[in-house]
Structure 1
Amino acid sequence: MRDPSHVSLIAKPLPAHKGYVTSVAVDPGGRLAATGSGDGTIRLWRIGRSGALTAAAQTLVKSDNTVHAVAFDREGRFLASGSEDGAVRLWDYSGGERLTPVGSPLTGHTSYVFTLAFSPDRRILASGGDEGVIRLWNLTDPSQPAMLGQPLAGHRSSVGSVAFSADGTTLVSGSADDTFRVWNVPRRALIGHTAGVNTLGFTRDGRTLASGGGNGLVRLWSFSDPAHPMAVGKPLDTGGDTVNAVEFSPDGRLLASAHQDRSIRLWDVRDVSHVVPYGKPLSGHTGAVYSISFSPDGRMLASSSADSTARLWDLTTPGRPAALGKPITGHAGAVHSVAFDRTGRVLATAGEDTTLRLWDVADPAGVVPLTQPQVADTNGLWQVTFSPDGRTVATAGADNIARLWDITDPRRPTSRALGGYVSGVWSVGFSSDGRMLASGTFGGLLHLWDVADPRRPRPIGSPLSGHIGGIGWVAYRPNSRQLLTAGTDSTIQVWDLDVERSIARICAATGRTLTPRLWSTYVSSLPYKAPCGGQ
């Protein structure tokens, strides 16, 4: 359209479909157009130099369902389609004019899908439809797409259009409720895994995060700018087996990873952009390795396994690690978690047999129990962690209970149950100052607790949701108000617990204050108070 004031028809209308045409999209190269129709087909069209259209070779007859939406990505590789049956489908057209299905249909919508949009980097697909919500999809691996976070709800009628801003941080939606909404998409989810994320670990300075998951990859993330974390370097290929745990050494020079294949691997991470294996994998466990923990001085590593044991490893010379003493036995089932206290003299283990056990490891060659096994629940313990001062232990229990254990005298621990959960507790973690505890559940809820006085723990607000699926790990970024959670939905969610900073970000995103009129519409039960510094 060279002159917008003089628009003319280039060619005669084409008999494109046997039903009405519902949607049209043009690929980024301007060479192909796609149309969707009430006849259940998608058709591709060549766009000539003059702008005239000619039918491409392929017509896709998918079903009897109307195709309401089609959209090309900006890289010129994928086409997405949305239809009357609520499914979103991906097609690869990078080979030319032939569309090849990619993965399985994306299901989640309960009715018609009316609109689709790819983010500029093609890693997220947004879809909106008849039920009035917008869903986001993780396309990091298009062959294994996954739902990203909770649906965006707010519209009171069907969503007919969605579009991303050029930088991908804003999503705009239009609805039959006579409104459009602007959604902040500030990259609060770290997207890069293509299977469930099982584990997280920070360096002590909080500048680097490691994550591991079900696809056998370990990823590193830079938090040099905490507001905009980003992946660094290439994923570490550990051989393709599930990564169950990762942890940095206290000096940040080594990374350890624990694997389903019964091995523990060490990595030289002094240059995070070029990570290399450090020596050969540690072997000795006869079952999957579930958990690892460095001693505070970095000279020992503890591990726990499905083989019902924990082990200690000598890392005095990291290139030549060696087993210390005999395997630590006593649990009557898989040992799911292991952790050192701040002195390095006490080791905690928790396992399938429902018990918490404390061990004196001052002499690694002669490890002895400090107390009788502490029975915590009836369905097994998934994780154990020490508070920063070493006086409290938290455990995550499959029986919908987390517990705080007072181990001021490790030979006489006492416990206090934290309730209010509606599914098993999978993960627990203390903040750097020990005043807060986060816990994640199999049902995908994040619970926060005020544990400044561990004898009187208090829940902080209502449980938070954001993941689609369980939360297998929680990790506070050291010396900050950021909390990260790892989910089976293949994402890492970043939670900002600094209320003032969150308010400032919301005010900056909205660009204006909430007027008395809007206040009366949305929060009429409360007296008006101008937010964001308004009058």
Structure 2
Amino acid sequence: MFAADSTTLVICGEDYLGPATPARGYLETWTLSDHNHPELVGAPIALGPYGWLSVSGGTVLAMRVDSATIQLWKILGDAAPVKVGPPLPKLATQITALALSPDGKFLAAATGTELTIWALADPSRPELVTSATLKSVDPIRAISFSADTGMLATASGPPFLQHADLAVWDFSDHRHLAAQLEPSVPLFLGISAPIVFDPAATSLAARTTDGIELWDTDKHHAVNRICASTIGVLTRDNWSTYVPQLPFRSMCP
């Protein structure tokens, strides 16, 4: 994971110690000021057996320190990351997915079908913003914020080559989640997150069993398609028949 300055690389991994011993995680920071000679900054930080699940946004790093607890870290660039405040309150069940918004201002965590979001205006004091429960019976396994944080996508399903529920949420007011789209698609839900928004937040890419698929998430494009296919349908007569309680107005530009 790269920090915002693109000259710092944070690596989170795990040491496999055998089937009878839980794997132990570790955190390393590398400086890339000279791309030909990366240098390790300080000593690796030892983590618990669940520390491999981590995400970064800007200069903030979020990491699962046990099955249901998240710790925030500050990425310093010229030194090893440092913890920011105490861990967040322990969640009810195991965390199945994590995501930080690209600007590091929001953190999303999934516990099964439950999605919880915190605001990180002050990372040392995360503020609980909202939560939502998905209709899917399978746990959320991937989360992605759009670059402008106006949308959030989740993928839920059993692991690996299975059909999954892909939901795109409206998060434009940064206080509530409203589902926009909930198709069932054959996503490849492996270890890495299979969904990501493009920088302009006009497309969502997903890794499926057939390769990469793209969805148009631009609301203006949707309005244009609807208006183009319904020209002449909503006349004044039809309006007065179906919505007589409202004054007529043109719904398309």
Give the TM-score category using the shorter length. Answer: 0.7 to 0.9
Count of paired positions: 218
Structure-to-structure mapping, 1:239-278, within 5 angstroms? none
Q: Is residue 2:73 matched to residue 1:359? A: yes
Task: Verify: 1:484 aligned to 2:184, yes or no.
Answer: no
- Normalising by structure 1, report the TM-score: 0.36
Q: Does 1:393 align with 2:112?
A: no
Query: Secondary structure of 1:501's match?
Result: helix
Considering Cα pairs closer than 8 Å and 6+ residues apart, tell me whether 1 or 2 has the greater RCO: 2
Partners of 1:316 and 1:325 in 2: how far apart? Answer: 15
Partner residue, 2:183 = 464
> Is 2:165 the partner of 1:445?
yes
C-alpha distance after superposition, 1:244-283 (max 9, x if no partner): xxxxxxxxxxxxxxxxxxxxxxxxxxxxxxxxxxxxxxxx
SS of corresponding position for 1:479: coil
Aligned ranges for residues 39-438 of structure 1 at < 5 Å?
A: 293-307=1-15, 308-341=25-58, 344=59, 346-350=60-64, 353-362=67-76, 364-374=78-88, 375-388=90-103, 390-397=104-111, 399-415=112-128, 416-422=130-136, 423-438=138-153
Structure 1 residues 299 and 420, CA gap change in structure 2 (3 angstroms): same
Instruction: Flag structure 1 segments of 5+ consecutive residues without an equivalent.
Output: 1-292, 517-525
Please tell me whether Structure 1 or Structure 2 has the larger radius of gyration of its CA atoms.
1
RMSD: 3.1
Give the 3-state SS of the residue equivalent to 1:365 in structure 2.
coil
Aligned to 1:283: none
Structure 2 stretches lacking a partner, 5+ long: 16-24, 159-163, 234-240, 244-251
Aligned equivalent of 1:475 = 196
Could you say what secondary structure the match of 1:393 adopts? Answer: strand
Instruction: Measure how far apart 1:376 and its partner are.
Output: 3.5
| Equivalent residues of 2:187, 2:194 under 8 A apart | no
Note if contact 1:447-1:459 (Cα within 8 Å) is conserved in structure 2: no
Equivalents in 2 of 1:492, 1:486: separation in Å? 5
Q: 2:221 aligns with which of 501, 523, 526?
A: 501
Distance in 2, matches of 1:382 and 1:485, equals: 16
Inter-CA distance 328–527: structure 2 relative to 1 (3 Å threshold): farther
Separation in 2, partners of 1:468, 1:294 = 26
- Normalising to structure 2: TM-score of the pair? 0.72
Structure 1: which amino acid aligns with 2:182? P
Question: In 1, Cα distance between the equivalents of 2:232 and 2:172?
Answer: 38
Name the CA distance, whole Å, in 2 between partners of 1:391 and 1:468. Answer: 28
Note the alpha carbon deviations across 1:332-368, whole angstroms, 9 max, x for none: 4241223142xx3x32223662222111332653532
Residues of 2 paired with 1:372 and 1:420: CA distance? 29
1:92 maps to none
